[in-house]
Copies of this chain bind each other. A is one copy, B any other.
Amino acid sequence: MPEQPQPLVGVVMGSKSDLEWGQQVSRYLQELGIPHESRILSAHRTPVEAAHYAQSAAERGLAVIIAIAGLAAHLPGVLAAYTWLPVIGLPLAGGPLRGQDALYAMVQMPPGVPVATVGLDNPRNAAVLAAQILAVRHSDVRARLLQWRREQTESVRLADRQLQQSSATAVPEPRP
């Protein structure tokens, strides 16, 4: 087995039930070629482990932490309390309040301890934001990020061209 590269991003879930979301973040980070590690650490059930993880994150070489949680989503804020690294919060919508609780619990942090919050159930944006933060220092991440954005733009342009062609033929004359 080839040696793993040093992870730059820590992807932390608050519960085993968030695993699928963590895997999506992981997949998007891989697409952008960003080495990372994934952990399940609960702000409320394994608070000592969560605190220790955040405290040691910078010295272990991480540059960004992504924390994923739903409901009263304290995890990113609790991690942010123990590290100076930027913490990205990914709020999940899977509860009766459809994520409004998770969104508020992440974004409304008190002055001095921010969480960089992205959209509800939006793992892509958690990964891309991590890439943007890394891209200033890591030219290879920047290159892949720019390449990915070009592809994204191209894909919208292609869909637009296809729509224009199909409309041109499909739209009938207005009724006389």
Contact = CB atoms under 8 A, between A and B. Distances in A.
Given A16-B159, A107-B72, A112 B85 contact: no
Interface in A42-91: 42-47, 49, 51, 63, 71-72, 74, 77-78, 80-82, 84-86, 88
B47 A171 contact: no
A110 B137 CA distance: 25
Copies in the complex: 8
Interface string A124-149: 11101100110111000010111001
Contact of A125 (B42, B100, B109, B152): B109
B100 A114 contact: no
B133 A40 contact: no
Interface residues of A, number: 103
Interface of A: 1-2, 4-5, 14-16, 19, 22, 26, 30-31, 33-47, 49, 51, 63, 71-72, 74, 77-78, 80-82, 84-86, 88, 93, 95-101, 103-122, 124-126, 128-129, 132-133, 135-137, 142, 144-146, 149, 152-153, 155-157, 159-160, 163-164, 167-169, 171-176
28 contacts: A34-B174, A39-B163, A40-B156, A43-B74, A43-B77, A44-B77, A44-B80, A44-B112, A45-B152, A46-B156, A46-B160, A47-B51, A47-B78, A49-B157, A78-B78, A84-B135, A85-B135, A93-B96, A103-B103, A107-B118, A109-B119, A111-B125, A112-B149, A112-B152, A113-B125, A114-B132, A116-B116, A144-B175
